[in-house]
Amino acid sequence: MANEQSIDQFRSQPRLPRFAAPKRYEIFLKPDLIACKFAGSVRITIDVASATRFFVLNAADLVIDNDSISFTSQSSPKEFRPSEIAVVEKDDILVLRFDEVLPLGEGVLGIRFDGTLNDQMKGFYRSVYEHNGEKKNMAVTQFEPTDARRCFPCWDEPAFKSTFKITLEVPSELVALSNMPVVEEKRDGIVKTFIFQESPIMSTYLVAVVVGLFDYVEAISPDGIKIRVYCQVGKANQGKFALDVAVKTLDIYKTYFAVPYSLPKLDMVAIPDFAAGAMENYGLVTYRETALLYDDRHSAAANKQRVAIVVAHELAHQWFGNLVTMEWWTHLWLNEGFATWVSYLAADSLFPEWKIWTQFLDDYTTGLRLDALAESHPIEVDINHASEIDEIFDAISYRKGASIIRMLQNYLGAACFQRSLASYIKRFACSNAKTEDLWTVLEEESGEPVKTLMDSWTKQKGYPVVHVNVRERVLEFEQSQFLSSGSTGDGQWIVPVTLCCGSYSSQKKFLLSAKHEKLDLTEFINSSNADSNLVGTGNQQSGRHFWIKCNVDQTGFYRVKYNDELAAGLRHAIESKQLSAMDRFGILDDAYSLCMAGKQTLSSLLSLMAAYREEVDYTVLSLVITISRKIVNVAADAVPELLNDIKQFFINLLQFPAERLGWDSKEGEGHLDMMLRGELLVALAELGHDVTQHEALRCFGVYLDDRNTSLLPPDTRKAAYVAVMQAVNSMDKSGYENLLKVYRETDLSQEKTRILSSLASCLDPEVVRDVLNFLLSPEVRNQDAIFGLAGVSREGRDVAWTWLKDNWEHIKKTWGSGYLVGRFVTYIVSPFCSDEKAKEAEEFFATRSTPSIVRTLKQSIERVGINTKWVQSIRKEGPLGEVVKELAYRKY
Ligand code: BES
Ligand code: ZN
């Protein structure tokens, strides 16, 4: 018996001791929506597995009624009361010490407590909405990762799965929802008691409760599951799209995982104040309004796609996460990486015209960018304290996670992969799994060494750049760790390399596990009927060009650096339209990243970009735009004298697709064209293209008088707003005021978000400061402030930094308890391009950092260093001026 000693032995432990584990919770909650408080009680059925005098469980911000605590065991007639009750605030634990050793086996622990409905968007919190012109509170839970303990005392770790029987007492005019359907409803005057059916076994972070006024739309799935979308009173129509997606998606997953949805009902609720985008609570999924509601007239195509993806993601968790749960947060990526990957699978089957797998490359590259930092982390990351968990809901867990799944699926084949997943879900249903459990199942099904292969991707951070060289029909490969700083890391991977030569008709695959590898192409070239004479001879003068594309369709999580000859061949293949959109994306993105790391000149990147002048694909053009923005940002510091020419080049480049689309939407035009038009016009407005700016201002003028004008549909609105803000200065703020008017008048959150994300694009620093202050005003919900920050113009950067420092205490107080505070740092700090700013940031945060921003802060500062180096290397590039001039004034 190791636990004779004092309660100190339980301090500072990463996980709760396992000598007692909960089996069943009976929870009673009574929220007071006016006083913003709640009263509650739990009766937890516990299995005492080894002799102990202690119970150690989680609780935080709760006032525990000490006299109410008692334990009754099945094997003893006696009621046990703790002799010592200790709350260890630092570790969010409640330790109960009993004078005698507790009997083994089952017993029930009862505790009464009180709490506050906080305004931190976590635990049991309040969200504010308007009803008939009156402000009202609703009570909502958000428990992931570790905030169930703020609502009731519990074993708040994913591996302690239990059943939950929940009872709510609420004012009788309100709707009360929880994970399971209501089995009994009792009305007693002005209060109503809802008793919910007991849940199947699940983790605490998935328990949920929502109490408020709602309308809903409903559908019954073919299996008889009742699916509802709840939203603000009067907005039920806006729930129809998500409802339809949900009905179809449940069916897709049922087939894919070969297990039906496991609960009798599924509710999805729009919550006005919500920290994340959505949360997959078992049977009661909660969303930000922007991620659930779709309005036919005022939502953009991008909003529609977001709703579909978010719904598909959260429903994927009902299997991957809720039915089979990660054993510990180290395996968070099993939840998030998979849900992300599977959501694309579902979206692709529902909306093939969205080419969603091409769009996935946007996620993929976000993962690659973050993982090119020395301050990245492995997918499987050690978690030693609850406060470290928030930070890992990042692009590594989600996007790198999803990308390596796609890589593995591609390597093993879709059919084998699906069979394995279905068998994994079946084997671990109602239980917990670790990363290696998944590899074991995949290994059994495929006969491939999955664990060795995948360990190299999940247990070490980073990824390789594969250098490809061709010499007399022999390809030479060499891998080394890619870092944006230009340094070379010492990681090594097992890289599934794929390549195509001159056509997509056949593909070559092999695993590059050593540092170097050679591949004789002779046979492959003969079989893919390519023109072998041109390979590796250095001679491409004949007018016929040969290309070799590695990492076909970017299924591998790595970058490729080609030698000059191969790069020239690919460039020509892009111009002559021989490559897939995914490959065009990959070539450009790799070139851009290599350029930033100082491995390739800006001149050569710009010349490559010119090969995209007839590009039509949405995702590829979106990347062209992103890269243009970054180049403008860095060029303004590095070569200000060339800035206008560089901008002119980008305007020329974007004008071809922009002219094809025009401002007006066409009858029956595709989803991707609608999204593309919006992005192109925003980019042209930012680049100062005068025709675009004029047209934008004209349309905005009409829109101000008539919000239903067809001149400014939702897809082009952001472009108009950006143009309006570009024309605003401290002498004439009328455009800003007009936008605020639209902001105040709309009750659609997507429209509000669109406006917020445009405001800080103003070129006048004074105005940017006004905008930033507006973000902190009561008119902007805490959940939305970050959208404003994401749009800060280069000209506004310095005031934004000063503003961040001046308001840091307030920001930390308001957002510091969640993962949003990290965004303030990233958005404002990382665009800087000088050592001086990096130093300022380091000094400022030296005394102000918190566990939940440590890594984010280091990453932001590292990014400043990378930008700085990039600026220096651009300055040294002699012939850049000539290249830029030639490109800017070239007639196409
Ligand atoms: N489980 C997360 C929600 C979450 C995020 C909880 C961070 C706690 C901290 C949910 O499944 C999720 O991933 N939501 C995403 C949307 C998704 C489409 C990527 C989000 O909130 O952005
Ligand atoms: Zn998720």
| 278 touches ligand 1 (CB under 6 Å) | yes
Q: Please tell me the predicted confidence (pLDDT) of residue 344.
A: 98
Reply yes or no on whether the pLDDT at 3 is more than 90: no
pLDDT > 70 fraction of the chain, expressed in percent and rounded: 97
Query: Domain check: are 655 and 525 in the same one?
Result: no
Residues 220 and 201 in one domain: no
Residue 586 lies in a domain: no
Phi, psi of 314, rounded to the nearest 5 degrees: -70, -35
276 lines ligand 1 (CB under 6 A): yes
Q: Are residues 756 and 825 in the same domain?
A: yes
Q: Give the residue-averaged pLDDT of 166-193.
A: 97
In a domain, 620, yes or no: no
Helices 356-371 & 618-638 angle (0-180, nearest 10) = 30
Q: Which of 121, 144, 852 to mutate to test the pocket of ligand 1 (most atoms within 8 A of CB)?
A: 144
Mean pLDDT confidence for 163-168: 98
Candidate from 121, 206, 393, 753 with most ligand 1 atoms within 8 A of CB, to mutate: 393
- Known catalytic residue at 314: yes
Give the residue-averaged pLDDT of 172-195.
97
Same domain membership, residue 722 and residue 706? yes
Where is the domain boundary, 319, 349, 369? 319
Bigger pLDDT: 664 or 890?
Answer: 664
**How many helices and strands in the chain, by DSSP H and E?**
28, 30
Report the CATH number at residue 226: 1.10.390.10
User: Cis peptide leading into 145, omega within 30 of 0?
Assistant: yes
pLDDT of residue 542: 47
Q: Is residue 124 part of a domain?
A: yes
Of all residues in the chain, the percent with pLDDT exceeding 90 is 93
* Residue 819 pLDDT grade (very low, low, confident, very high; cuts 50, 70, 90): confident
Task: For residues 62 and 207, state if they share a domain.
Answer: yes
Write the CA distances from 135 to 121, 127, 748, integer angstroms: 18, 10, 17
pLDDT of residue 545: 75
158 lines ligand 1 (CB under 6 A): no
Residue 561 pLDDT exceeds 50: yes
User: Is the CB of residue 445 below 6 angstroms from any atom belonging to ligand 1?
Assistant: no
Domain span including residue 516:
464-575
Ligand 1 atom index nearest CA of 390: 9
pLDDT tens digits along 475-506? 999 999 999 999 999 999 999 999 999 999 98
pLDDT at 501: 93
pLDDT band of residue 541 (cuts 50, 70, 90) is: very low
CA of 428 to the centre of ligand 1 (A): 22
Q: Which of 350-354, 414-418, 542-546, 844-848 is the least confident region?
A: 542-546
Residues 766, 721 within the same domain: yes
Give the residue from 288, 319, 350 where a domain finishes. 319
**Does residue 605 sit within a domain?**
no
Inter-CA distances, 38 with 112, 140, 568, Å: 11, 12, 67
**Whether pLDDT at 69 is above 60:** yes
Residues 373 and 257 grouped into a single domain: no
| Whether pLDDT at 153 is above 90 | yes
Measuring from atom 10 of ligand 1, which residue has the nearest CA? 279
Residues 274 and 194 in one domain: no
Whether residues 129 and 61 share a domain: the answer is yes
Residue at which a domain ends, from 160, 188, 211: 211
Which of 412-416, 488-492, 878-882 is the least confident region?
Answer: 878-882
Q: Is residue 634 part of a domain?
A: no
Q: What is the CATH number of the domain that holds 42?
A: 2.60.40.1730
Q: pTM of the full predicted structure?
A: 0.97
Beta bridge partner(s), residue 80: 71
Q: What is the pLDDT of residue 521?
A: 86
pLDDT confidence of residue 523? 79
Q: How far, in Å, is the centroid of ligand 2 from the Cα of 307?
A: 14
- Structure token digits, residue 257: 């995982």
Burial bucket for residue 472 (CB in 10 Å: 0-12, 13-18, 19+) = exposed
Distance from the alpha carbon of residue 332 to the mean position of ligand 1, in angstroms: 11
Burial (CB < 10 A; 0-12, 13-18, 19+), residue 853, is: buried
Find out whether 131 is annotated in a ligand binding site.
Answer: no
Residue 652 above 50 pLDDT?
A: yes
Q: What integer pLDDT is reported at residue 529 of this predicted model?
A: 55
402 lines ligand 1 (CB under 6 A): no
Biggest CA pair distance of the chain: 96
Task: Give the residue-averaged pLDDT of 745-757.
Answer: 97
Q: Tell me: is residue 336 an annotated ligand-binding position.
A: yes
Instruction: Render pLDDT for 235-267 as a digit per residue (tens, 0 to 9).
Output: 999 999 999 999 999 999 999 999 999 999 999
Q: Is 671 among the annotated ligand-binding positions?
A: no
Shared domain for 449 and 557, answered yes or no, is no
User: Cβ(164)–Cβ(25) under 8 Å?
Assistant: yes
Residues 329, 424 within the same domain: yes
Inter-CA distances, 130 with 119, 140, 214, 229, 232, Å: 16, 16, 11, 19, 9
Mean pLDDT, the chain, rounded, equals: 95
C-beta neighbour count of 55 within 10 angstroms: 28
Q: Which atom of ligand 1 has the smallest separation from the CA of 393?
A: 7
Ligand lying nearest the CA atom of residue 393: 1
637 belongs to a structural domain: no
* pLDDT for position 315: 98
pLDDT at site 1 = 46
524 or 286, which is more confident?
A: 286
Instruction: Copy the structure tokens of residue 716.
Output: 């082009």
pLDDT of residue 557: 98
Ligand 2 midpoint to CA 281 (Å) = 10
Kindly state the helix (H) or strand (E) to which residue 716 belongs, with its residue range. Answer: helix 714-726
Which residue, 681, 648, 647, 686, is CA-closest to 662?
A: 681
Mean local confidence (pLDDT), 751-764: 98
3-state secondary structure 424-492: HHHHHCCEEECHHHHHHHHHHHHCCCHHHHHHHHHCCCCCEEEEEEEECCEEEEEEEEECCCCCEECCC
Tens-digit pLDDT profile for residues 10-37:
999 999 999 999 999 999 999 999 999 9
**Considering the domain boundaries, does residue 617 fall inside one?**
no
For residue 294, being part of any structural domain is answered with: yes
The residue contributing the CA closest to ligand 1 atom 2 is 279
Q: 750 and 806: one domain?
A: yes
- Total domains present in the chain: 5
CATH number reported for the structural domain that contains residue 842 in this entry: 1.25.50.20
Of the candidates 311, 114, 131, the one whose C-alpha atom is nearest the C-alpha of residue 212 is 131
The single residue of 314, 380, 443, 615 carrying the catalytic annotation is: 314
C-alpha–C-alpha distance, residues 493 and 870, integer Å: 27
Pairwise CA distance, residues 504 & 198, whole Å:
55
Residues 6+ apart with CB under 8 A from 35: none
For 771-798, give one letter per residue: b (16+ CB within 10 A) or e. bbebbbeeebbbbbbbbbbebbbbebbe
Atom of ligand 1 nearest to the CA of 280: 11
